[in-house]
Amino acid sequence: MKIDLLQMVENGGCSAKISPGQLEEILKYLPLPVDPNILVSIDTHDDAGVYKINDELALVFTIDFFPPVCSDPYEFGMIAAANAISDIYAMGGDPVIALNIGMFPSSKLPAEAYAEILKGGFDKASEAGVRIIGGHTIDDIPPKYGLAVVGYVHPGKIITNACARPGESLILTKPVGTGIILAGQRLGISNEKDVNEAKKQMKLLNRTGADVMKKFNIRAATDITGFGLAGHTLKMAKASRVSITLNMRKVPLIENVYKLADQGCIPGAAFRNLDYADADTSYEENLDYNLKMIAFDAQTSGGLLMSVPQEKTDNVLAELKSVGLLDSSVIGSVATKAEKYLYLSN
Amino acid sequence: MRIVDTKGQHCPAPIIAAKKALKEASMGEKFKVLTDNQTSLDNLCRFLKDNKAEFSVEETKGVWTLTITKKTAEMQPKQTDEYCDKEIPHFTRGNFIIVFSSDKMGEGDSELGYLLMTNFINAIKDFDELPKKMIFYNNGVKLGASDSPVFESLREIEKMGVDLLFCATCAKYYSLEEEIRVGSLGNMFEIAQVMASANNILKP
């Protein structure tokens, strides 16, 4: 029997996240933990928490899981693992161990499907040098899978979303558009080549990009996932107390993403993200509508967005391309805080 | 009045339907979009507002009716078209070219050869990936003459973004310079260079 996980979901991948605005509402009732060893917590909406063990070592800790983004269970496992591990890379950490977290409708799908998902997760984790040392599964529909990951980082070398400085350039390492391609796939209007490209990008570990960041001593970065390019950039601008301009025409796109957006293939998650960011965002008067909505497209296992000092930009870009991240592009710039946090321009 | 019924559909399907109707409507034309989903309604309203369409919403028994008037001729600013044309090909093009050295396909009966060639060219439009370029020389240039059975197909392929290059010497030799109304004429250097730099060459 051919298993098609997509038959079971309406919103796959990071599109299934709760809206960022709603999440902030909920989290504000939660007291922030007080402990001098907590170096990064949820107050800056960063990719992962960081806890200091001693002057040489801190733990980066994150969790991510979601419903299927593709039909094949093995591929889904790989994508979910790459996406979860990405948060460690975005913080400058080295991922070490992980736990599986899963939900699986055991009466609706054959057990082999779950075995395949876990195998995909295991293989991707192994590629990242991560040992999976346990897990937890609930019987539930639709299936969901991901990892809780622990990484190591030197307390002095943490990369956060709160360190972007005026004058720096923003570099993105993967093309954007996975949400739109996947929505189009569900409606049968994405072509197979573009779907395969999206899957390839989602499976790609952010390790190579992270190695380049470390080599050039980059201090500010985040990875692009469910809140979309604009949503995560806004979080970076807020945490760093700066204004960021994104030049949308410079943003690398998966082929045909623009065409799909122009057909109106704009997933619900993009509208949710737009809603969240609207009050803090200024749009250039003639901003192309499709590019605007692409900026808010929820990404699954998206690229790293790093804020790079001007004098290093060319070298970082060249290095990213030489390690195989050929779509890497300078897509924006950081300035002192103006009226809005985020400026979207053509 | 046109009615676009998106009941039972989730985003992005209602947006796609509304956008299509908006594109097809003429200036000042009204049409209705129906939805029974609150999220789709919110997203449709936001979409219409951002695209500067005039609209009103009524609700009866859980079904919302949006009455939309197209207000701006240009759905997107002019730059969008340029952007589309330059950076995003509407059709996917593969890394191969097709070379036509004859107006017939294969060796054998010439009537069959013509027929096969016609079928071949008509099939190109439906390829998953279009060729980068199509090159015509010797008898091949006759395919581009305005009375050729594949002339319309070639024009369509050209419109899809494929460059058609005809051998100028050959066109002159067969006195077809005025007859070839598609693609462009090129010299042997251009033809040789295109062939030399192609990853794959298809020759029917």
Q: Note the pLDDT tens digit of each residue in A141-150.
A: 899 999 999 9
Give the minimum alpha-carbon distance from A183 to chain B in angstroms, rounded to a whole number.
7
**pLDDT for A310:** 93
pLDDT of A323 above 70: yes
* pLDDT score, position B85: 34
Tell me which amino acid residue A74 is: Y
Does residue B183 contact residue B154 with C-beta atoms inside 8 Å? yes
Check residue B180 and report its DSSP letter.
B
Query: Which region among A108-117, A160-169, A171-180, B74-83 has the lowest average model confidence (pLDDT)?
Result: B74-83
From the list B43, B50, B90, the residue facing A289 with the nearest CB is B50
Structure tokens at B136: 């015509």
Q: Are B91 and B134 in contact (CB under 8 A)?
A: no
**A300 burial level (CB within 10 Å; 0-12, 13-18, 19+):** buried
Q: Is the pLDDT of residue A201 over 50?
A: yes
Return the CA Rg of chain A.
19
Report pLDDT digits (tens) over A212-232: 999 999 999 999 999 999 999
Query: B188 at the A interface (CB within 8 A)?
Result: no
Q: What are the structure tokens assigned to B147, written together? A: 């009375």
* A280 min Cα distance to partner chain B (Å): 17
Threshold 0.95, pTM exceeds: no
Query: Does a cis peptide bond (omega within 30 degrees of 0) precede residue A36?
Result: no
Query: In chain A, what percentage of residues exceed pLDDT 70?
Result: 97
Q: Residue A88: its pLDDT value, please?
A: 95
What is the spatial distance between Cα A264 and Cα A184, in angstroms, rounded to a whole number?
Answer: 10
Contacts of B88 in chain A (CB under 8 A): 253, 255-256, 258-259
Mean pLDDT, chain B, whole residue set: 84
Give the pLDDT of residue B81. Answer: 37
Residue B84 has pLDDT above 70, yes or no: no
A contact test, residue of B15, B52, B81 with most A CBs within 10 A: B15
A14 is catalytic: yes
Q: What pLDDT sits at residue B73?
A: 60
Distance CA A284, CA A344 (A): 6
Instruction: Give me the residue from B20, B83, B128 closest to A264, CB to CB.
Output: B20
